[in-house]
A and B are shown apart, each in its own frame.
Chain A
Amino acid sequence: MPSRKRVPAPLAWLLVAVALLGLAWAFLTPAWQSPDENSHFAYLQSLGERFDLPGDPERESYSTEQWQAIQAVNADQVAAVLATDPEWSEQAYERWRKSEDELSGPKRQDGGGPNPATANPPLYYLYTSLAYRAAASGDIFDRILAARVAGLVWPLLVTLGAWLLAGELFGRDRTLQFAAAALGGLMPMTSFISASINPDGMLYATWTIFLWLGVRALRRGLDVPTAFGLAAVTGIALVVKATSYALLPALALVFGVGLWRARRSPPLRIAATVGAAAAALAATGGIWTLIARGLNRAASGQLATPGAGSGLDLVQLASYLWQFYLPRLPWQDPFPNSTGLPAFEIFVKGAWGAFGWLEVKLAEPVYVALGALTLATFVAAGVALWRTRRSFDWAVAAFLALATATLLAGLHWTEYHFVLSGNPNFMQGRYLLPLVGIGGLALAKALTLVPPAWRMTAVAGIAGLLVALQLYGLGLVLQRYYA
């Protein structure tokens, strides 16, 4: 009798820890105190109440119900302003409670106007609107919590995806798989963002699964189920956020290599592989493109937003990139986004931990230590790769590098144009987190330099550090909003 496949115990316990931490973030963060959660909630409510996309210029951005609740908790004044606390008064809560009870159904439905999230594709919001509907009998804060809790599936999928991704490259080495998965699931920012109403959490999950399936296809061959899964997850990611267009070159690479390697296979099998992928893409991104055309809206509005009309100055672009990662040289004109070193100020700080509307920060020395550890991990991973260069899988390396480079290129291209048009605040550290699976791989590879007898101890220490960072972040949020 074939044995049933069971979830490995280390992974199962890790998932329990990830879920509990996600739950803590979902409860603790005050409503609308994470980046753009007010806009994301308005989008979600428009779908959940009216089954219609937001963006109608004739309508209000937020429903009456949302406005009242935002005012009751003083959310707009609190956002990004450390000195301002949310409303603590029970009397204020009771007054709001009374006004909420008096609200009629239409006051939940009179939003749907334009807001900064309107340009996003709808899949994340459709998914969370199921949770919203399930909590429809509750008040607005019940529905916010329901939508947040629904998002806890994303860090779980990131953890699972990182585990599987590491498994493809390191075999059944549970210690290295655990290290990669722990980084993906326990980074405070993945928990915080996934436990907020924000499509980025779903982006991290879809990208991590994409990376796993891509590596799987390159390692094991492009069979029909993998081709279907890879294309489907790409299509799903495209309907989550326009950022996912950065996956297309890596997808093309997998199919190019996979089909080249399978060129001597029966034509029918190749046709089935291509057909499955095309069907999966059509059933996800294709359908949304058709719907968007029918509704006369851009399938991915964000792609059209930056840089309209601004030309390309290669020297200036190179100067911008230099100043992002390296100290400015005396003859370079400063870019308005570069206070300090943006790679540190934005990427390191924003990816490791900046909560609320990014105003809740870790202590500066902690960021310095985290930046140094991150750099050391990538350097160590490079050394380990060099040592194993004879067994180097160039196709996998090219795939991972292409996914990374395309995301970074897209982000920098967008920011460069935003900066030129006078808006220097585009780039965010959390935009790197779709690549957290690759970060997990780098950590696992770096750990191969540790003697085997000490490797598990090192992994346990790293997992402990990640949970310590989570406790620190949760403590800061508790103190910032409620002390």
Chain B
Amino acid sequence: MRDRPELALAAVLGLALAVLLTVGLTDRRDEAFTLGVQPAGVVELKPGERACQEGIDVPADFSSVELQVGTFRREGSPLEVTVHERTGSGRLLGRGVLAGGYPDVSRQRADVGRVEAGQRVAVCVEARGPRKVGLYGNVARAAPGSTLRAEGRPVDADLTLVFHGDERSVLGELPDMLSRAALFKAGWAGAWTFWLLTLAVVALVPLALGLAVRSLRRDSGG
């Protein structure tokens, strides 16, 4: 078979692209964005106290907020999670309640209603039960640009917050991913640059290799 090398190349690359496409379509996730804070310590919240993580940029729509909560080895106390414009005293954008009874050191989600991208918000957590809770977070510089206030006073910490929205496949998220990739890159680059690069990698690279293999075969008189 004269074209056997090209077929081998096409088969391997075709298979690889098929696997990538399958994974891209079946791997579904609903994470909208995170504050990027690793849980390393807790901010204690006594009954009735409120802590607000302020100045959070919202790069994607979200409808629930995930936080890591410690209960000091007791049953988890109810929490109210609210979303406000810019600061804890700003206009209310969303509200949710986390029922009590959750385990110690666990990740919990509160549905707060849809909050749209392009705003700066504050996420406030209020202890509504009879027992204290610990909100996990890290030192204040973990989320530059955002600040935590507890009972109105600045705290040297940032909360571990993850924001969730609609569930989408990785492939469905590709346009957003390429737009994000264009931020903090060369000033002239945009999402279009990354679409072109995607095209180059999935089409032109295999084409160039195909031409290489064909000329290899011709060189050797095949």
Contacts and interface: CB of A to CB of B under 8 A. Distances in A.
B181 interface: yes
A27 B178 CA distance: 11
19 contacts: A13-B211, A16-B204, A17-B205, A17-B209, A24-B197, A28-B194, A72-B184, A77-B36, A78-B36, A88-B180, A89-B58, A91-B118, A141-B187, A178-B212, A459-B213, A464-B209, A474-B201, A481-B181, A483-B170
Given A27-B194, A142-B187, A456 B217 contact: yes
Interface in B163-205: 170, 173, 176-178, 180-181, 183-189, 193-194, 197, 200-202, 204-205
B74 interface: no
Contacts of A470: 201, 205
A466 to B, nearest CB: 9
Contacts of B206: 467
B16 interface: yes
Interface in B73-94: none
Contacts of B177: 478-479, 482-483
A92 B208 contact: no
Contacts of B170: 479, 483
Nearest to A481: B181
A85 B12 contact: no
A175 B219 CA distance: 9
Given A27-B185, A145-B185, A460 B6 contact: yes
A20 interface: yes
A21 B201 CA distance: 6
Given A10-B213, A175-B216, A28 B6 contact: no
Contacts of A158: none
A9 B57 contact: no
A73 interface: yes
B33 A461 contact: no
B25 interface: no
Nearest to B6: A460
B46 interface: no
Contacts of B97: none
Interface string A1-45: 000000011111110110011011001101100000000000000
B182 to A, nearest CB: 9
Contacts of B48: none
Interface string A43-87: 000000000000000000000000001011110011001011111
Given A10-B215, A89-B58, A145-B186, A20 B209 contact: no
B213 A463 contact: yes
A245 interface: no
A405 interface: no
A322 interface: no
Contacts of A93: 183-184
The A contact surface, by secondary structure, is: helix
Contacts of A8: 215, 219
A90 B183 contact: yes
Interface of A: 8-14, 16-17, 20-21, 23-24, 27-28, 30-31, 69, 71-74, 77-78, 81, 83-93, 95-96, 138-139, 141-142, 145, 174-175, 178, 456-461, 463-465, 467-468, 470-472, 474-475, 478-479, 481-483
B16 A472 contact: yes
Nearest to A84: B36
A195 B10 CA distance: 27
B173 A483 contact: yes
A27 B193 contact: yes
Given A77-B142, A84-B34, A84-B36, A27 B16 contact: no
A17 B208 contact: yes
Q: Which of A8, A139, A456 has the most CB of B within 10 A?
A: A456
Q: 4 closest pairs, A vs B, by CB? A: A464-B12, A468-B16, A89-B57, A13-B212
B21 to A, nearest CB: 10
Nearest to B10: A464
Given A69-B184, A85-B36, 5 more contacts: A10-B213, A142-B186, A464-B13, A468-B12, A482-B181
A141 B188 CA distance: 10
Contacts of A24: 197, 200-201
B154 interface: no
B216 A456 contact: yes
Contacts of A78: 36
Contacts of B38: 77, 81, 83-84
Nearest to A74: B36
B13 A467 contact: yes
Contact of A174 (B120, B193, B220): B220
Interface in B28-44: 29, 31, 33-34, 36-38
Contacts of B200: 20, 23-24
A174 B33 contact: no
